[in-house]
Structure 1
Amino acid sequence: MRALPALTSLFLLAALTACTEDARDALRPSKTGCYVGSASEVHLSAEQASNAATIAAVGMRDGMDEHAVAVAITTAMQESELINVDYGHDDSLGLFQQRPSMGWGSEEELMDPVYASFKFYEKLQRTDGWQDMRLAEAAQAVQISAYPELYEQWESDAEVIADAFAGGEEAGLVCVSGSADEKAADPAALAEAYEYHWGTSVSDVEETRLVIETGGAAEGWNRAAWAVARAYDHHIATVSFNGMVWTAGEEEWSEPAAEVDGDADGEAQVVEVADSTAVLVTFAAPE
């Protein structure tokens, strides 16, 4: 009979441990935002990822390479944390904290991430030897900051981000903030943004799909990452390229079969998967 208290204590300890684990699971924050790199090395908010995608697209549009994009990302991470802020030291504005009074452009222009990125690359190109400089060194050559050493802390993250958006890394970006049901679909707006950022038109745009032709695997993955970075703002349901699909809110790309489980009515749903010649973006059907 004396063994009963000990046995009861063991049961209580087991129950308490289980409750503690449940509480930890409940308190553990769910993943949000976007994850960059094959091992999700860098975490960005949806806004940061969108701005990084813009910086990369403008660079490639203007003939800049991955190194130049990494320089620009390094700079923007230090200057604004990749947030398009409308304030800063003196009259500094935007992603790169460029100043109207220093001839970078008007306030309205500098608050446009496409224009701001263009102006950054324009000055970078005029910098002798930038191609052989470290990222922080090249960033300082453009910005002429009073604190040049601060750029160094962002170099490794910037390289990962540049690889996903400009280096052709396979499945280099996923975003888990929200789902396609939370905002209104607007394929035409995404097509317009693509033309503005990349300087070329999409191949096809319809009510629930958009097609971007590519010139190879690297180009395709760069454009696929650009689309994923805009998933929340444009009500994107899936992005597909080279036999793989990313679905809004999912933590990884997948290689789906031709059909998946049924919908609410029990009917099988066909999954359209793009090959290596185009990026396919689909949108939730309008209600």
Structure 2
Amino acid sequence: MRALLALTSLLAALVLAGCTDEARDALRPSQTGCYFTTGIGETHLTSEQAANAATISAVGLRDGMDERAVAVAITTAMQESELKNVEYGHDDSLGLFQQRPSMGWGSEEELMDPVYASFKFYEKLRRTDGWEDMTLAEAAQAVQVSAYPDLYEQWEEDATVIAAVFAGGKEGGIGCVKGNAPEVTADPELLAEAFAYHWGAEVSEVDGTTVVVDPSDAAEGWNRAAWAVARSYDYSITSVAYGGMVWAAGEDGWTEPNAEEDGEDAVAVANDSHAAVIITFAAA
């Protein structure tokens, strides 16, 4: 209570004194996690949730599913686990989709692997007749057969925005500020391995502190770039460049590099990224 009174007094004093922009910034809570922005809306996820959503999207695209299928999968995971890979649930349910080993979804170890769990979800969705004509919530229910089917609908709008960024090739649609990954690695080789596992394709190059991905078109490039940004905290990625723009952790999101402020090298990297996604790690 004393701390709250002291903060209230400080705020009042700053208002009376006409506080500066710097003071306001110091008092403003720092942003965390990842922000998704499209023409249809905005939403926010923690870095853990964003990484899991990126995995769900990558597996779907890898297996020939489209943006709408990804939106169905994300709608489902948002309701079932809040996009967290939890080790518990009702009865023997666990993982992102709360799939049950006893119901034939797979072993406990398999279902705790987000890639496998996503694959199994899409496998059943693909076998569901008419899912393309259902709402996202109806399609989710057709796969999950939940006792609470009405609860999926609340996540449809957010899932649509997230899928547009991760699967729809939305230019610069994701920006991440600060993360909360429990385990962090700064090994480009490990990121390359994760990319191959999630996408079913090899990166083009791993060179020192840089991973290069060559997409087949712009939509694919932005999908891969968004995946990399979402993995920025568990892999200590410092920047991602594509399409003449560069993302770096912070509140500025994706920006066009300026030669005077950022240097000629930064501009050159961004321009090169028209053809490739360039993922950069801090030097050891």
1:110-146: CA deviation from partner (whole Å, max 9, x where unpaired): 0000000000000001100011111000000000001
Is the CA contact (8 Å cut-off) linking 1:178 and 1:248 kept in structure 2?
Answer: no
Q: Distance in 2 between matches of 1:198 and 1:36?
A: 21
Which residue does 2:148 correspond to in 1? 147
- What are the superposed Cα offsets for residues 14-71 of structure 1, whole Å, 9 maximum, x if unpaired? 9725369987654431111100124771110000000000000000000000000000
The share of aligned pairs that are identical, in percent, is 69
Q: Residue 259 of structure 1 contacts residue 270 of structure 1 at CA under 8 Å; is this kept in 2?
A: no
Aligned residue number for residue 37 of structure 2: 37
Q: What is the one-letter code of the residue matched to 1:196?
A: Y
Residues 74 and 136 in structure 1, CA contact (< 8 A), matched pair in contact too: yes
1:185 Cα offset (Å): 1.9
Query: Structure 2 length normalisation: TM-score?
Result: 0.88
SS at match of 1:41: strand
Partner of 1:130: 131
> 1:185 and 1:61 mapped to 2: Cα distance?
25
Cα displacement string for residues 240-280 of structure 1 (whole angstroms, at most 9, x for unaligned residues)? 1010000123431011134635xxxxxx5721213332101
Matched residue, 2:54? 53
Counterpart residue number, 2:170: 169
Hey, what's the Cα distance between the residues in 1 that align with 2:58 and 2:17?
A: 50
Q: Report the Cα distance in structure 1 between the residues aligned to 2:197 and 2:15, rounded to whole angstroms.
A: 59
Residue 265 of structure 2 aligns with an amino acid whose one-letter code is V
Distance 1:14 1:33 in 2: 29
Q: Distance in 1 between matches of 2:105 and 2:15?
A: 64
Q: Give the letter aligned to residue 103 of structure 1.
A: G
State the partner residue of 2:66. Answer: 65
Shift of residue 207 of structure 1? Answer: 1.5
Task: Spell out, residue by residue over 1:80-111, the C-alpha distance to the aligned partner (whole angstroms, 9 max, x if none).
Answer: 00000000000000000000000000000000
Q: 1:24 to 1:103 in 2, by over 3 A?
A: same
Q: How many residues align?
A: 267
Deviations 1:204-253 (A, max 9, x none): 01211010000111111000000000011111111010100001234310
- Go from structure 1 to structure 2 and tell me whether the alpha carbon gap of 1:208 and 1:216 turns closer, same or farther (over 3 Å shift): same
Q: TM-score, normalised by structure 1?
A: 0.87
Report SS of the residue matched to 1:37.
strand
Q: Tell whether the 8 Å contact from 1:214 to 1:277 is kept in structure 2 after alignment.
A: yes
- Structure whose alpha-carbon radius of gyration is higher: 1
The equivalent of 1:270 in structure 2 is 265
Of 40-49 and 161-170, the range deviating more from structure 2: 40-49
SS in 2 for 1:282: strand
What does residue range 1-287 of structure 1 map to in structure 2 within 5 Å?
16=16, 18=18, 26-38=26-38, 41-177=42-178, 184-258=185-259, 260-261=261-262, 270-271=265-266, 272-273=269-270, 274-286=272-284
AA matched with 1:73? I
Corresponding residue number in structure 1 for 2:8: none
Go from structure 1 to structure 2 and tell me whether the alpha carbon gap of 1:196 and 1:37 turns closer, same or farther (over 3 Å shift). same
2:89 is aligned with what amino acid? G
Q: Is the 8 A contact 1:260 1:270 kept in 2?
A: no
**Contact 1:34–1:45 (8 Å) recurs in 2:** yes
The change in CA–CA distance for 1:137 and 1:183 in structure 2 (over 3 A counts) is: closer
Q: Which runs of 5+ in 1 are unaligned?
A: 1-11, 262-267
The two structures, once aligned, show a CA RMSD in angstroms of: 2.4
Describe the shift of the 1:20–1:210 C-alpha distance in structure 2 as closer, same or farther (beyond 3 A): closer
Amino acid at match of 1:108: E
Equivalent position SS for 2:232: coil
Distance 1:183 1:104, change over 3 A: closer
Matched residues in 1 for 2:174 and 2:53: separation?
11
| Structure 1 Cα separation of the partners of residues 49 and 14 of structure 2 | 44
How far apart are 1:178 and its partner, in Å? 5.2
